[in-house]
Structure 1
Amino acid sequence: MTDLDHLQSRYLDLVRRRRMYSGLLLIVFVALLAGGFQIANDRNAGGFLRGLPHVFDYPSELIAEAAAKAANLPGLMWTYLPALVETLNIAAVSTLVGALGGGVLALLATRGLSPWPRMVAPVRRLLDIMRAIPDVVIALVLIFVLGGGPVPAMIAIAFHTTGALGKLFSEVVENADTKPVEGLESVGAGWLQRMWLAVMPQVAPNWLGYALLRFEINIRASAILGFVGAGGIGYELRNAIAWGPGRYDAAAAIFILLFVTIVVIDQASSTARDRLIHGEKP
Structure 2
Amino acid sequence: MSAADPPTLTKLEQLDQAYAKTERTRKLYTMLFLGVTVFVMAGGFTLAEDMNSGGFFSGLSKFFDYPSSIVSEAIEAGWSWFPLLIEFLPALIETVNMAAVGTILGAVLALGLSFCSTRNLGVWAPLVPICRRAMDIARAFPELILALFLIFVLGASPVPAIIAVAFHTAGALGKLFSEVNENIDRGPLDGLAASGANWFQRMRFGVLPQVLPNFTSYLMMRFEINIRASAILGFVGAGGIGAELRKAIGWSQGAETAALFVLLFLAIMLIDQASGRLRRRMIGDGLQPL
Matched residue, 2:265 = 259
Q: Distance in 2 between matches of 1:264 and 1:190?
A: 40
Matched residue, 2:35 = 27
Q: Deviations over 1:29-69 (max 9, x none)?
A: 22222233233334433332232211112122222222111
Matched residue, 1:275 = 281
Matched residue, 1:218 = 226
Matched residue, 1:184 = 192
Alignment of 1:156-235 (within 5 A): 156-235=164-243
Q: Identity of counterpart residues, as a percentage?
A: 52
1:92 aligns with 2:109: no
Return the index of the structure with the highest Cα Rg.
2
Alignment of 1:115-154 (within 5 A): 115-154=123-162
Q: What letter is aligned with 1:266?
A: D
Q: Distance in 2 between matches of 1:255 and 1:39?
A: 34
Moved more, 151-160 or 46-55: 46-55
Task: Check the 8 A contact 1:62/1:252 in 2, yes or no.
Answer: yes
* Alignment match of 1:113 (pick from 117, 121, 126): 121
Q: CA 1:178 to 1:219, structure 2 compared with 1: closer, same or farther past 3 Å?
A: same
Runs of 4+ in structure 1 over 4 Å off: none
Q: Distance in 2 between matches of 1:213 and 1:279?
A: 22
Cα RMSD over matched residues?
A: 1.8
TM-score, structure 1 length as denominator?
0.91
* Alpha-carbon distance, 1:251 to partner: 1.3
Q: Distance in 1 between matches of 2:51 and 2:99?
A: 35
TM-score, structure 2 length as denominator?
0.89
* Alpha-carbon distance, 1:255 to partner: 1.6
Q: CA 1:227 to 1:43, structure 2 compared with 1: closer, same or farther past 3 Å?
A: farther
Task: Check the 8 A contact 2:173/2:218 in 1, yes or no.
Answer: yes
Q: CA 1:226 to 1:130, structure 2 compared with 1: closer, same or farther past 3 Å?
A: same
Q: Deviations over 1:70-94 (max 9, x none)?
A: 2322222111111000011011111
Q: What letter is aligned with 1:94?
A: G
Q: CA 1:89 to 1:43, structure 2 compared with 1: closer, same or farther past 3 Å?
A: farther
Q: What letter is aligned with 2:257?
A: A
Q: Distance in 2 between matches of 1:18 and 1:137?
A: 39
Moved more, 42-51 or 67-76: 42-51
Structure 1 unaligned segments of length 5 or more: list them: none
Q: What letter is aligned with 1:226?
A: G
Matched residue, 1:17 = 25
Q: Deviations over 1:99-133 (max 9, x none)?
A: 11111100000003253211212211221222232
Alignment of 1:40-119 (within 5 A): 40-119=48-127
Q: What letter is aligned with 1:271?
A: R
Task: Check the 8 A contact 1:135/1:157 in 2, yes or no.
Answer: yes
Moved more, 49-58 or 29-38: 29-38
Q: Deviations over 1:140-197 (max 9, x none)?
A: 2222222222111111111111111111111111111223223333343322122112
Q: What letter is aligned with 1:248?
A: G
Task: Check the 8 A contact 2:220/2:272 in 1, yes or no.
Answer: no
